[in-house]
Amino acid sequence: MSVPAAPDLPYTDTKPLGAADFYYATNATFRFILRRLGVEGWRRYLEELGRGYFAPVNRQWQQGGLTAVARYWRAFFAAEPGASVEVVEQPDRVEVRVYVCPAIKHLRAGGREIVREFCQHCYHLGSARAEAAGLTMRLSGGNGSCRHTFALPSAGLAPQNLQAIEEARP
Partner 1 sequence: MIGCYDFCGHYEWTFDWLERVGGHALVRDYWNEAISQDSQRHARELIQREGFAGMAKYWGHTLAEESPERGFTITQKPGVFRIDMHDCPSRGFLLRNGLQQYHDYCDHCMGWIGPMMRESGFVIDHEHNHCGQCWWEMRPAGAVAGHSAIGEVSGAKDVRLLPHWRPPGSQLDRYDKATDPDGKLP
Question: CA 21, CA 40: separation in Å to the nearest integer?
Answer: 27
Residue 94 has, within 13 A of its CA and on its CB side, a CA count of 22
Cβ 88 to partner 1, closest distance in Å? 17
Residues between 90 and 149 that touch partner 1 (CB under 8 A) = 101-103, 110, 121-122, 125-126, 148
Cβ atoms of 136 and 94 within 8 Å: the answer is: no
Smallest CA-to-CA distance from 70 within 91, 88, 50 is with: 88
At 152, the amino acid letter reads: L
- Binding segment (CB under 8 A) for partner 1, from list 32-40, 60-68, 152-160, 161-169: 32-40
Q: How far is CA 105 from CA 35, 37, 72, 125, in A?
A: 24, 27, 22, 20
Question: Out of 9, 68, 132, 168, which residue is the one contacting partner 1 (CB under 8 A)?
Answer: 9
- Binding segment (CB under 8 A) for partner 1, from list 37-45, 63-71, 150-158, 160-168: 37-45
**Interaction between residue 86 and partner 1 (CB under 8 A):** no
Question: Out of 42, 45, 61, 150, which residue is the one contacting partner 1 (CB under 8 A)?
Answer: 45
- How much is the CA Rg of the chain, to the nearest whole Å? 15
Catalog residues that contact partner 1 under the rule CB under 8 A.
Answer: 2, 6, 9-15, 17-29, 31-32, 36-37, 41, 45, 48-49, 52-53, 76, 79-81, 101-103, 110, 121-122, 125-126, 148
